[in-house]
Chains A and B, each alone.
Chain A
């Protein structure tokens, strides 16, 4: 039998990944009555398959960088609020170029970013190993981005939800949303799961890579597609990589619209000891098959960047599906097609980093405030109808 929630909810957040958790956290902090519902556990989708990148370094000037800069500030505050358990490390990023041409491209990229408020410092090739002693010799140079940081994404989502619950939010896991209810005027009235009705005048779609399916339940189209990535996990090591280090090709890979396989080394240590090695991108649907080709390329590229890794064992591999939208921008904010429907999904590989800004901006919209960033570039109706 369907139950109606009492007291009345202000908002239902669908998705208990880091973005849904951040939406719940900021909405609860703004005094709203919040329920979070997820068909799986907390961080059971893409959040649990991420590396925890909080990057400004890979973003060109524009709306996504604005979100990232806002999030950088918010993550610093959250790290204080959530405590050491989320493994927040303001370690900085180092992007390296193998060739002089690559270094010139990095310089041009960094010049634009600096004008937009990013801190970036050029590092000549001969000084790279002062920052990262294990880097391969002979690299042309790189850039140091002190604002880049890292968290443990599943722990970050869990602790955001812990705080949201402390402020009164309700968390429902293991229940799929089967319908989004709308009134005769078309406005959202809540959601239904197999076990209950959650009535609320606002629904936030934080369903990540599955955000297109939730949008369809609300009667609108949102073309979120999975972009697969693998991460290699090495044996536990002492700190051998100090920053988040990646090759210049990574930026081009992220921005590519190709469905084909792209790999570029992204290497970082963790407080737990293992080094994480990414990053691959390919659009192959929700295929979970292990790809030896991807593993071989990632391992090879990482060892090229850090020769010491050639003699380190990989213990395991995980994979996940980034929520990809065709223009690489997330869908954030009210959907003009359905009153009461808000989107907070489609962040591709940047969702951990962009989660706080997304949550804050949504809560500002929900409470009738002017969001501190213009949400027009993130409107969910910007895509042509299929």
Chain B
């Protein structure tokens, strides 16, 4: 039996183009063309890129399909971006979001 390594790319026999990099909390993370930010972070072993508003607990991908708003992060300075929907554009700057990420607006 063909015991191919069971990764999504392996299962579909993908031949992705050359990788590029995005920035996550100040370090480079490898990303493939067409990959979402969440997928790139997962592939790099990063599972959490936001803390909850009240308990400060870690959060990352939950649904992965743009429904649940769990995978929010600050992307290029903009808070509350759904990383499972945003393509990992070369040079995108992703930072871990603390809570709602809009503390500057509080009155």
A-B complex is real: yes
| Distance between A89 CB and nearest chain B CB, rounded to angstroms | 15
Known: A273-B53, A315-B69. A237 touches B107 (CB 8 A): no
B105 and A235 within 8 A (CB): no
C-alpha spacing A33/B106, complex, angstroms:
48
Query: Is A220 an interface residue when CB atoms closer than 8 A count as contact?
Result: no
Give the residue name and chain of the A residue nearest to B81 (CB): A313
A-side contacts of B107, CB under 8 Å: 132-134, 239-240, 242
The total of interchain contacts (Cβ-Cβ below 8 angstroms) comes to 31
Query: Is A40 an interface residue when CB atoms closer than 8 A count as contact?
Result: no
B100 and A235 within 8 A (CB): yes
Query: Is B103 an interface residue when CB atoms closer than 8 A count as contact?
Result: yes
B53 and A239 within 8 A (CB): no
A-side contacts of B80, CB under 8 Å: 235-236, 313
Query: Is B20 an interface residue when CB atoms closer than 8 A count as contact?
Result: no
Q: Dominant SS at the B interface?
A: loop
Give the residue name and chain of the B residue nearest to A234 (CB): B80
| A interface bracket (residues with beta carbon within 8 Å of B) | 10 to 19
Known: A134-B107, A273-B53, A308-B105. A238 touches B100 (CB 8 A): yes
Known: A273-B53, A313-B80, A315-B69. A236 touches B100 (CB 8 A): yes
Query: Is B102 an interface residue when CB atoms closer than 8 A count as contact?
Result: yes
A-side contacts of B102, CB under 8 Å: 235, 237-238, 312
Tell me the chain B residues, 58-107 only, with Cβ under 8 Å from chain A: 69, 79-80, 100, 102-103, 105-107
B-side contacts of A237, CB under 8 Å: 100, 102, 105
Interface centre among A237, A240, A312, A315, by most chain B C-beta atoms within 10 angstroms, is: A237
Per-residue CB contact flags for chain A residues 295-321 toward chain B (1 = under 8 Å, else 0) read 000000000000010001101000000
Which of A132, A240, A242, A315 has a CB less than 8 Å from the CB of B105?
A: A240
Residues on A lying within 8 angstroms of B by beta carbon are: 132-134, 235-240, 242, 273, 308, 312-313, 315
Residues on B lying within 8 angstroms of A by beta carbon are: 53, 69, 79-80, 100, 102-103, 105-107
